[in-house]
Every structure is written in structure tokens, then in C-alpha cells.
Structure 1
Amino acid sequence: MKKLLFFLICGMLWVSSLKAQQTQYMVFEFIKVENDQLFDYIEFKDLMEKVYRQALNDKQITGWDFWSLQSGADHSDFQYIMVTHYNDPVKMMNGLDEPTMMEYTKIAYPHLNSAQVSKIFQESLSIRDTRMRLYMREVAETKDNFQMKPGVLASFDLMKANEGQFEKYETAESEVFKPIHQKYIDQGLMGHWSFLRTALPLGSEANSTHLTMNMYKDYMQFFNAQAYEDMNQTASQREAVNEGLNSRDQKWVYLATLENIVR
């Protein structure tokens, strides 16, 4: 009996640990580049893909995405969204400091000396401006086998839960909107959906509290999803949807195309 109880407890701890390991953490960086420096920055982000691949090989990150903004904000604000993926909140908060990035650059580009690596980073810092940085934890996602590759589309929907309705809004996303997006995916109208909670910045003055990511394989799938209307939705389902919508303020919707990816 004691052995059975021991194995039961160990199994529960293992499952709990496995779930914790599967939790995804992401840093979103919204980047502004001056028009006369766009070509230089495009070269730089291609270089960064190889650097972040070294970070992935070293198990410091679980992925890296570079998105080009299509719509949702004035290009005077920013033109790119860079997302770095982690499986640990401490690694997310610590990030990859400049000395570490320079070491990975030396590995990725062994023909460059220390002075050349330092020059690359100083030039990159001078041409990019991170207008906003969000630290986020994934709360829910759909079941799918969506293949992330350059050219796929995503809408990044920044939300702010209404005052006093934080839990109500999260429940609505997980229990009302997630099944709707899963149905879209099952019908071939979407590739992937995930719901994230902001870890930082916090407080009533923060611009957003949550973010949803809606992934599409191409523009055809995206526009088909926009045109689709579920005629079989019941009155109670519509009421639940409206209550969920009323529990948050949709701040911005950014449509972007994936240009570089590391997995």
C-alpha cells in the first residue's frame, strides 16, 4: 500500500513537472527602424537568425521569430515584431545579454574577430529602436499540427481586461473563444491560436494585459476565416461570446508576415 501511494505521488509530481516544462514564455519586441536604414536592418536580422540558432542549440531559448508588420499601426511606430521563446520564466526575464550574444555570433561566424562582432552589435543598436517590450506566459492554445515557416501570417491582438473582470475575461478566452478557434482549425480556416497573459509591464497604466495570436498559412486562409459565419451558433453561445467581448478592450490588432524563424 505504501509503495502504491509512493508511486502515485511520484506520478502526480512527474505530471505536474511535465506541465510546467511545457508552459511557454515569450518576449515580444516591437521594433522601429528608420526608412533609410531598412536595408541594413534586413541584413542584420538575417545574421541574427544564425545567432539565435546558436542560442537554441545551447538550450537558452526554445525558438525565435521575426515578423514584418503588414497593418495595425502607423509605420512611424514600428515595422517589425521579434518574438523570443523560452520554456522557463527566469530565462525569459534574464534574456540574452550582449556578451552572450557576441559569443554566439563568434560561433555562428568564426571568420569574424572580436572587433568585427562588436562593430556589428554597435551598428545594430544604432539603427533599431525597441518601442515596446512585452513579457508573456502562454495560458491556452489549440490542438493542431501547424507548420511555422517563412510566409505564414499572424494577427497579434493586444487586449486589456476591463477593471474587475480579469478572471472573467481569461475564462471566456479559454472556455468560449478557444473552442471557436479550434473549430476554425478543424475546418481548415485557421492554422493555430494561442492566448497569452502579460507578465510585464503590470499595473493599471499598462497598455495591455493579454495577447492572442491567430496563425494562418496564407492570405487565402486568412480571408476565408474573416468571411466565415457560424450559422449553427445557439443563442446561449452568442450570449457567452458577447459577455466575453464585453469583458475586455481590444487595443490593437497587428497583421504580420513571418520572415525568419528558428526552431
Structure 2
Amino acid sequence: MKKILMLLVCGLLWAGVLRAQQTQYMVFEFIKVEKDQLFDYIEFKDLMEKVYRQALNDKRIKAWDFWSLQNGADEGDFQYIMVTTYDDPVKMMNGLDDEAMMEYTKIAYPHLSGTQVMALFEQSLSMRDMPMRLYMREIVSTDDNFQFRPGALASFDLMKAVEGKFEDYEKAEIEVFRPIHQKRIEQGLMGHWSFLRTALPQGSEAKSTHLTLNMYKDYMQFFNAQAYEDLSQTAEQRKAVNEGLNSRDQKWVYLATLENVVR
């Protein structure tokens, strides 16, 4: 009996370790580029894909995605979203400093001299502005095998929990909305869904407290999902959905197309 109890305890502890290891931490960088420098920046982000691949090989990051915005709160605010995924909160907060980025650039482009690498980064910094950066922790996601490939579509929904309803909102996303999205995935109407909590910035003045990612393999799947209406919902389920919607304020929705992927 003691051996069985010990095995159960070890199993639970191991499951906890696995869950901790699987937790994802993401940095969302909303990028603004002046119109006369868009072409130069497109070349630069292709270069950055190779640099971040070196960081992935070195296990400094878990993934890197570069998204081109289709719309947003104000189309003039941002043109791109860069998402860097980590498996550790400390790695997320430390990020990749300039020294590491230049070192990875030298590995990715051995034909460039140190002076050329420095000039490249100075040029990139001068052509972009990052007015918003969010540090986030994934709380829950759907079970799926979504493939992150160029051309995939995503809706980045920035949310702010209503004051006093923070826990109610998170409970609604986990217990009410996740099963709805899981059902859509099983019906072929969606590719992936995840729910994230903001780590930084925090406080009452923060523009958002959470973010949901709704991903689709292409525009066809996206438009089919928009046209779908679940007529099988019970009155109790509809009530739970409405209560969940009332526990948060949907601040902005950004629709974006995946252009570069490192995984």
C-alpha cells in the first residue's frame, strides 16, 4: 500500500514538473515602421529570422514568429508584431541583448565583418519604433497540432478584466471559452487558441491584462469560423458565455498574417 501511495505521489509531482516545463512565456513587440522604410525593414526581418534561428539552436528561445498586421485599433499605429517564446520567465525577462544578437548575426552571416554587423543593427534601430511591448505567460491552450507556417492567420485580442472580476474572467476563459474553441478546432473551424496573462506592464493603468490568440491555417478557415453559429448551445451555456463576456473589456483586436517562423 505504501509503495502504491509513493508511486501516486511521485506521479503527481512528475506531472507538475512536466506542466511547469511546458508553460510558455511570450514577449509581444508591436512594431511601427515609417512608410518610406518599409521595404528596408522587410529585408531586415528576413535577416532576423536567421539570427533568431541561431538563438533557437542555442536554446536561448523556444520560438520566434513575425506577423504582418492587417488591421488594428488604428492602422497607423503598428505594421508588425514580433513574438518571441521562451520556456522560462527569467529567460523572457532577460531577452537577447545587443551583444548576443550581434554574436548570432556573425554566426548566421560569417561573411559580414564586425563593423558591418554593427552598422546593420544601427540601421534597424533607426527605422523602427516599438511603442508597445507585452510580457505574457500562457495560462491555458487548446489541444491541437497546429502548424505555424507562413500564410497562417491570427487574431490577437487584447483584453482587460473588469475591476473586481479578474478571477471570474480567467475562470470563464478556462471553463467556458476554451471548450468552445476546442470544439471549433475539432470541427475544422480553427487551428489553435491560447489564453495569456500579462506579466508586464501591470497596475490599474495598464491597457490590458490578458490576451487571447485565435489562429487559423488560412483565410478560408477564418471566414468559415466567422459565419459559423452554434445552435446547439443550451440556455445555461449562453448565460455562462454572456457572464464571461461581461467580466472583461475587449480593448483591441489585431488581425495578422504570419510571415516568418523559427521553430
**Is the TM-score greater than 0.5?**
yes
SS of the residue 1:71 aligns to: coil
User: Match of 1:24, as an amino acid?
Assistant: Q
Q: Superposition pairs for residues 184-199 of structure 1, below 5 Å?
A: 184-199=184-199
Distance (Å, rounded) in 2 between the aligned partners of 1:14 and 1:159: 33
* Aligned counterpart, 2:27: 27
Distance (Å, rounded) in 1 between the aligned partners of 2:107 and 2:77: 34
Distance (Å, rounded) in 1 between the aligned partners of 2:48 and 2:222: 29
User: Match of 1:136, as an amino acid?
Assistant: M
* Aligned counterpart, 1:45: 45
Post-superposition shift, 1:2? Answer: 6.1
Q: Deviations over 1:52-85 (max 9, x none)?
A: 0000000000000000000113232110000000
Q: Deviations over 1:76-120 (max 9, x none)?
A: 211000000000000000000000000000000000111111111
Q: Deviations over 1:5-63 (max 9, x none)?
A: 55544433322111100000000000000000001100100000000000000000000
Q: Deviations over 1:106-162 (max 9, x none)?
A: 000000111111111110000010010000000111111111100000000000000
3-12 vs 225-234, which deviates more? 3-12
The 1:2–1:238 alpha-carbon spacing in structure 2 relative to 1, beyond 3 Å, is closer
Distance (Å, rounded) in 2 between the aligned partners of 1:172 and 1:150: 32
Post-superposition shift, 1:4? Answer: 5.4
Q: Superposition pairs for residues 98-177 of structure 1, below 5 Å?
A: 98-177=98-177
User: Match of 2:179, as an amino acid?
Assistant: P
SS of the residue 1:132 aligns to: strand
The 1:183–1:101 alpha-carbon spacing in structure 2 relative to 1, beyond 3 Å, is same
* Aligned counterpart, 1:256: 256
* Aligned counterpart, 1:61: 61
User: Match of 1:220, as an amino acid?
Assistant: M
* Aligned counterpart, 2:225: 225
User: Match of 2:189, as an amino acid?
Assistant: L
Distance (Å, rounded) in 2 between the aligned partners of 1:11 and 1:242: 38
SS of the residue 1:134 aligns to: strand
Percent same amino acid among aligned pairs? 79
Gaps (5+ residues) in structure 1?
A: none
SS of the residue 1:52 aligns to: helix
User: Match of 1:199, as an amino acid?
Assistant: A
After TM superposition, the score normalised by the length of structure 1 is 0.97
SS of the residue 1:172 aligns to: helix
* Aligned counterpart, 1:17: 17
* Aligned counterpart, 1:235: 235
User: Match of 1:80, as an amino acid?
Assistant: Y
* Aligned counterpart, 1:247: 247
Q: Deviations over 1:182-233 (max 9, x none)?
A: 1111111101000000000000000000000000111111111111111111
Distance (Å, rounded) in 2 between the aligned partners of 1:250 and 1:123: 36
User: Match of 1:125, as an amino acid?
Assistant: L
SS of the residue 1:222 aligns to: helix
Distance (Å, rounded) in 1 between the aligned partners of 2:180 and 2:8: 36
SS of the residue 1:110 aligns to: coil
Q: Superposition pairs for residues 205-216 of structure 1, below 5 Å?
A: 205-216=205-216
After TM superposition, the score normalised by the length of structure 2 is 0.97
Distance (Å, rounded) in 2 between the aligned partners of 1:187 and 1:11: 33
Q: Does 1:181 align with 2:181?
A: yes
SS of the residue 1:208 aligns to: coil
Post-superposition shift, 1:253? Answer: 0.5
Distance (Å, rounded) in 1 between the aligned partners of 2:5 and 2:108: 50
